[in-house]
Amino acid sequence: MLIVISKNNIAVDKPEWCSSAEDIWVSLTLQFPHSKRNIKLNVFTVYLCTENMGASFSDQVDNFVSTTLKLLISAYSNDKFLNIGDFNIGSIIWFNTSTGSKSCGAKGELVQYFIET
């Protein structure tokens, strides 16, 4: 996996935020000079495979959401978070909108929980 950031933005790799899933985290400070405002955007991509290090798919979803994502969102409540993956989860139900694709649900309680978080 790879996240590419423009050199015009301040980006900090966050390996300490990684979970037992295959995830990459980058924290961006987006500067808006006209409003003299900065926004912290935490971008992550995660790959949840069928079995990783002996953990089942359900265990991976639960671990990622409960011990990584929820804790980070709580600890950095003023920041924004953007997930740019895992779009290969086969049980997500997608539909097209005028602005792009959107999930309208998923098969399985844990996957739905991941999407809603």
Per-residue model confidence as pLDDT tens digits over 4-14: 666 777 788 99
Neighbour tally for 111: CB within 10 Å: 22
* pLDDT in the model for residue 65: 81
Q: Picking from 38-42, 51-55, 86-90, 96-100, which range would have the lowest pLDDT averaged per residue?
A: 86-90
Average pLDDT for 30-47 = 85
> How far is the C-alpha of 52 from the C-alpha of 48, rounded, in Å?
8
* pLDDT in the model for residue 74: 92
Per-residue model confidence as pLDDT tens digits over 59-99: 777 778 888 888 999 999 999 988 887 655 656 666 677 87
Q: Which residue has the higher pLDDT, 116 or 72?
A: 72
Q: Which residue has the higher pLDDT, 44 or 101?
A: 44
In this structure, are residues 53 and 40 in contact, taking their beta carbons and an 8 Å threshold? no
Q: What percent of the chain is modeled with pLDDT above 70?
A: 65
Query: How far is Cα of residue 101 from the mean position of the Cα atoms in its chain?
Result: 17
* pLDDT in the model for residue 1: 55
Cis peptide before 86 (omega within 30 of 0): yes
* pLDDT in the model for residue 16: 92
| pTM (predicted TM-score) | 0.68
> How far is the C-alpha of 54 from the C-alpha of 99, rounded, in Å?
39
**Among the listed residues 39, 40, 44, the one whose alpha carbon sits nearest the alpha carbon of residue 16:** 44
